[in-house]
Amino acid sequence: MARKFFIGGNWKCNGTTEEVKKIVATLNAAQVPSQDVVEVVVSPPFVFLPLVKESLRPDFHVAAQNCWVKKGGAYTGEVSAEMLVNLNVPWVILGHSERRALLNESNEFVGDKVAYALAQGLKVIACIGETLEQREAGTTVDVVAAQTKAIAERISDWTNVVLAYEPVWAIGTGKVASPAQAQEVHLELRKWLHKNVNAEVASSTRIIYGGSVNGGNCKELAAQPDVDGFLVGGASLKAEFIDIIKSAETKKNA
């Protein structure tokens, strides 16, 4: 099965109502490849989800940036998967490195979240990635395998999962992974899925890259055989995001 190119825009904790309206207007006016070629999902902060959802073009979709690990209730400050389903928000980003690092989300906790969100009917962008220290120690593959294992142990159906490889040292630093570095880890992840889940999941699961992706470096990254799209931070707040969406054409012709 061909893997449809996937472009996610993670807006993180940015934006005012006015800025959000402007970004949506830019996206709505853009000429981009059709939905058959690329799946586009943008992820505003929770409070802007309804506004973005109701004003965004219908061929683009929205994602939340997190959700609670189980059914909602007495968890002050959290947003449950059920609430996202209730608002018709189809996607959620889970396990982003900023949450793993700043909020101490463990591999197991992220795995539990992924399993719970999928069980509620959400589609999940599950983030994994090594720190600079781990890369320099030569443990990159072990780290991303352990992060993926904690998810794989808790789910049986990978249909609604996109795996986002985001090396921590490349996030927000302007220091993008080289196409070869990204390809190497994506291929290792696919091999891991083949060995530990099954061949079908290994060949059909989209593995996207995140970390300082921009309009200038996206094409070369997109041309790598195991790079199935991007999770874009900073550049997803700018018009440049349109160029990144268009890198799906490079992929189609690769």
Ligand X SMILES: O=C(CO)COP(=O)(O)O
Shortest distance in whole angstroms from residue 182 CB to ligand X: 13
Evaluate whether 52 touches 9 at the Cβ level (below 8 Å): no
User: Could you give the CA distance from residue 38 to residue 153 in angstroms, rounded to a whole number?
Assistant: 29
Q: If you write DSSP's letter for every residue of 16-55 in order, what string do you get?
A: -HHHHHHHHHHHHH-----TTTEEEEEE--GGGHHHHHHH
| Sites for ligand X among residues 17-76 (CB under 6 A) | none
Q: Which of 31-39, 101-109, 226-234, 244-252 is the region at the interface with ligand X (rule: CB under 6 A)?
A: 226-234
CA-closest candidate to residue 192, choices 131, 100, 128: 128
Shortest distance in whole angstroms from residue 210 CB to ligand X: 4
Contact letters (x/-) for ligand X, 118-157, by CB under 6 A?
----------------------------------------
CA-closest candidate to residue 161, choices 208, 111, 198, 123: 123
User: Could you give the CA distance from residue 33 to residue 247 in angstroms, rounded to a whole number?
Assistant: 9
- What three-state secondary structure class fits 200? helix
Contact letters (x/-) for ligand X, 205-224, by CB under 6 A?
-----xxxx-----------
Out of 82, 96, 105, 130, the active site residue is 96
Give the nearer residue to ligand X in terms of CB position, either 93 or 197: 93
Q: Which of 20-28, 101-109, 225-233, 240-248 is the region at the interface with ligand X (rule: CB under 6 A)?
A: 225-233
The residue number with the shortest CB distance to ligand X is 233
Shortest distance in whole angstroms from residue 120 CB to ligand X: 22
Phi and psi torsions of 125, nearest 5°? -100, 105
User: Could you give the CA distance from residue 35 to residue 45 in angstroms, rounded to a whole number?
Assistant: 24
Contact letters (x/-) for ligand X, 155-174, by CB under 6 A?
-----------x----xx--
Residue ranges in contact with ligand X by CB under 6 A? 10, 96, 166, 171-172, 210-213, 231-235
